[in-house]
Amino acid sequence: MRFYKIMTFSIVIPIYNTALYLSKCLDSVLAQSNVGWEMICVNDGSTDDSLQLLQEYARKDNRIHVLTQPNQGLSAARNAGMAAAQGEWLLFLDSDDCLASPAALQILENNTLPDTDVLAFSSELWYPEEDDRYEANVLFNHSSPKRFSKGWDYMAAFVEERGWGPSAACFYLWKRALIEANDLLFPPGLLHEDEWFVPMLLSKAGGVQTMSEVLYSYRMRSGSIAHGGRNIRHATDKLHIAQRLQRELAAPADKRRTKKRLLYNLARNAAHNLPLLSQDWWQAKLLMLKNAVRTKEYIRVITG
């Protein structure tokens, strides 16, 4: 029996029919050293060889825990993993992605100060079908480390600098106590679930630390949920996320503009993919109009 350090990280990996990519993902966690971790792999009703591969890995390392359930979608799989987690910090890792460095967890541990609730690290886009080409994920990366005393301050800076809202739960390290204290779960049955979960959780967070180190490799492949063909469900689910945030995201007085920017952009993205003059299209346009903050935005809504 090997000796491992006291667990610090719970790494939640939802799996659905990704046997072709799974070993690369799991091996990137197994390569982490000098830090305590557990891997919670949630098999969400896979029909390929994913479960057999997971069980093979689990037999070799008792830090790997395999849960299996009927197919319920990404949100339900992540929620099941969160419920089983025991570590102080929670990291979401998609089963076709991988950690970018064998020192990733050690680097994160070195930055987990007592008054930090969230670490926002940098990532890279990985094109394995193009000779393993990598490029910076400029939409979400951080050029230099910065410290924010509250999650709302981080969101305000993110929206102001980039023009869109923070999403992608995999690009953050979360203090598990923050999630449990606020009883937050990913919304089951919706695509774009991160675009609700990330702002909601950041709105409850205290200290947020950004990091320039690239710790996550995000696989770019056709057929994934994120990069499959856009359709009516992508649009309506994004609209439903925006409507939920309108009701549920409580913004302090000095951050109401930030909330409006989040909602405007979500509604605009939804409207682009909704059939013209459908009921949902009008709902998206009305939400855009309600949250427009610039004259050109009002004009765009009215004339678009």
Please name each of the domains of the chain with its CATH number: 9-219 (3.90.550.10), 232-303 (no CATH)
List of residues 6+ apart from 246 with CB closer than 8 A: 263, 287
> Per-residue pLDDT for the chain (304 aa), expressed as one digit of tens each?
344 556 799 999 999 999 999 999 999 999 998 899 999 999 999 999 999 999 999 999 999 999 999 999 999 999 999 999 999 999 999 999 999 999 999 999 999 988 999 999 999 998 987 888 889 898 899 999 999 999 999 999 999 998 888 999 999 999 999 999 999 999 999 999 999 999 999 999 999 999 999 999 999 876 554 544 457 899 999 999 999 999 999 999 999 999 999 999 999 999 988 887 688 999 999 999 999 988 888 888 887 7
State which H helix or E strand residue 210 sits in.
strand 207-219
The helix or strand, by DSSP H or E, that contains position 300, with its residue range, turns out to be: helix 295-303
* Residue indicated by tokens 């993110």: 158
Quick one: how far is CA 272 from the chain centroid?
Answer: 23
3-state secondary structure of 115: coil
- pLDDT at residue 294, rounded to an integer: 85
Q: Which residues contact 124 (CB under 8 A, 6 or more apart)?
A: 100, 134, 135, 136, 137, 214, 216, 217, 218
CB 118 within 8 A of CB 205: yes
Q: How many other β-carbons are positioned within 10 Å of the β-carbon of residue 34?
A: 10
Tell me how many degrees the CA angle 266-291-285 measures, rounded to the nearest 5: 65
Residues in contact with 159: Cβ distance below 8 Å, sequence separation at least 6, in sequence order:
165, 166, 258, 261, 262
CB-CB neighbours of 87 under 10 Å: 18
The encoded tokens of residue 50 equal 């994913």
Token pair for 281: 């299209």
Task: Provide the token pair at 91.
Answer: 């990291």
